[in-house]
Structure 1
């Protein structure tokens, strides 16, 4: 199957490297300032080298509209930066592709958080698939795990560590006695935190992921404004030390209680032997189901290759379904 990649930052480039050996053909790539199209398939090492040398993946006179109008793809992979408030411009791009009868796979949280029900309806009308495993928890297969692995279960509650930056900061504060500013600076130096870490440390990123899980898997219909959010930027070393003295620690926990229609993100004191006490940038999600009981998913929640892993899972699912005539 032919793939067009929209967004060629760290995730897009990581995906291009992975796809080189998977049997998929990449026919188009776009970054924020350029694009390239070849209906017979692009030379991905050449595109990657051009991006590294010039900052452009293709010609400056070509853009996303040209890729869409070419129709030279079966699956659109949308991995551009997230705009949580509007989902744009990715939302319009995804709408257009679905309306054309093209499958879409995305790691972009904004469109799924803002307009999942609309996009899913559009995909169904046009007989195509919408994959978004990569929008929540990176390589952790939480979407497919809940949709397929735990099919038939009713989820009573979901609790998770959904932001690796916050988890890294709190881990370093606990293990090394760093203050919050010190741990945040270390996270920046290592590339775990953005220059402006507001979305992460204020709990907004985790809240967006909860909205996606609630709306797409748990039968809810909420917006980001419905989530009660408290971040970690007020956590002190003293608070962590006090928790440690009581055999516990502090983590930023996202919570969904479907039966109460309750969604919130906040720092929580949890026992050191709790399954959600994972270190560094790991993500962890525990769900309590009526039949399966408690089930916990743990893995790498961010980065080019964990994200590419989730995207590739969706791509393979679509290809396998297509091959079966689904």
Structure 2
């Protein structure tokens, strides 16, 4: 049984659908990357799984943590999962830490909540976690406020707080976005070492393919609320098959060789509720046919460990058969 199994997960805000049937499995102890441009649904997927979306959100499908169903679970059941079974590190630690409570005390509160320790025992465990994530002189800095730490150290504090409940899965949502390159590398090394030490699984959400390659064994590429390609990291970096994935690689700046202009993906991600008929990436793609504009490609196996949602995968002269149901340009689904 997978640690987490996401099946046909859908999310709509006030009637506008933003996730369109996400299927994803996380095995015990593995690291999986979710990549894609901003707005593709990476973070929403896990906020929905943990019941952290606002009340106007409508969530459908299934998210199973072992044999426990999270979609539609009670508030009490979800509170018992958050932190103790699945912990999440958010993008901006400065907005997640309380600026008027001492940093060590915030970690100690998480220890008290998830582990049942109190008083000095909780404080000693908080100091141990601060040392684990590389906060120097943790005993003295226990009483410092968040503004007295650097941005990288605040991110380490968030990781320490996430580890306070010994979670089975750590969801790291863009944990290196606001950090410089040296601190980014330190945070990535920290996640790798903590995973090796604790055996927890990691979901690493990022638009940085280089960071994903260091942390993850498997990658899911998302676009416009759908998974468009998934496979092992090694396979993806050897030969991306979906045109969108290829576009992400082409837009990465290169440090070797001469100076070359980066190749951007033309256009922009379509807004939810304004998706084109057929493949959502078709207006930005250079590998389209009439089929792409009229039919919605499904995620199908391309052999080995790879699946892609594309009628014309790169490096393949064949055309993936169209599904039995077809979405027309007017948005009407017919058989």
Give the TM-score normalised by the residue count of structure 1: 0.36
Q: If each structure's helix is expressed as a fraction of its own residues, which one has the higher value?
A: 1
Give the TM-score normalised by the residue count of structure 2: 0.35
